[in-house]
Structure formats: C-alpha cells, structure tokens
Amino acid sequence: MTIGLQEQFKNYVFEDVKERIDEWVSIGNYSPKDTGKKRKFKDKIIELRRLFAKENSLKTVTPICPNPNDLINAVVKFRNDYVKVKKLN
C-alpha cells in the first residue's frame, strides 16, 4: 500500500513538473551544495505532498513521501529531461 502511494505521489509530482515547467525551471539548477535551491525544491515537494494528501483524503502525509529529500534528485532529473525533450520539439 505504501509503495503504491509513493509511486502515485512521484507521478503526481512529475505531472506537476510538466504542467508548471516554467515554475520548476525558475528554481534553477540543482546542486546539493546550494542549500537555498535544495530548500526550494524540498518546499515545492512538501507543498505538493500536502495537496496530494488532501485530494486523496489521507490523514497523514508520511506514507506518501516520508522524506522529501529522497525525491529531489528524481524530480531534478525528470525536469531536466523534460526540458530537453521540449527543446527538441
């Protein structure tokens, strides 16, 4: 159950990246050493985690994404790949 929720949430975040690509690109290039940008990515994921929980009538956000930091690299990679594809089209 929890793994399924985590995958659903990850896909939810990826869809948000597609829909609001300009907003995600405006965060800038991610670097683990740049705590400001890392914080912006983390805040965005936390915001989406709350929204996902609310939309799915969940009482807690922990099963969805126990640690938002774990999702940052996947989101950055997806965003960068999506931008490359958009530029080719």
* Domain total in the chain: 1
Domain range for 33 is 2-88
Mean pLDDT of the region 26-35: 85
What amino acid is encoded at 29 in this protein?
Answer: N
| Residue 66 DSSP label | S
pLDDT at 31: 80
Instruction: State pLDDT tens for residues 31-70.
Output: 878 889 999 999 999 999 999 999 999 998 888 888 999 9
Per residue in 66-84, pLDDT (tens digit) is: 899 999 999 999 999 999 9
Which residues are CB-neighbours of 1 under 8 A, at least 6 positions away?
63
Lowest mean pLDDT among 4-8, 20-24, 31-35: 31-35
Q: Is the pLDDT of residue 1 over 50?
A: no
Helix, strand, or coil (residue 21) = helix
Rounded to whole angstroms, the Cα distance separating 52 from 37 reads 23
3-state SS assignment for residue 31: coil
Q: Measured between alpha carbons, how far is residue 89 from residues 4, 12, 21, 78 in Å?
A: 32, 23, 15, 17
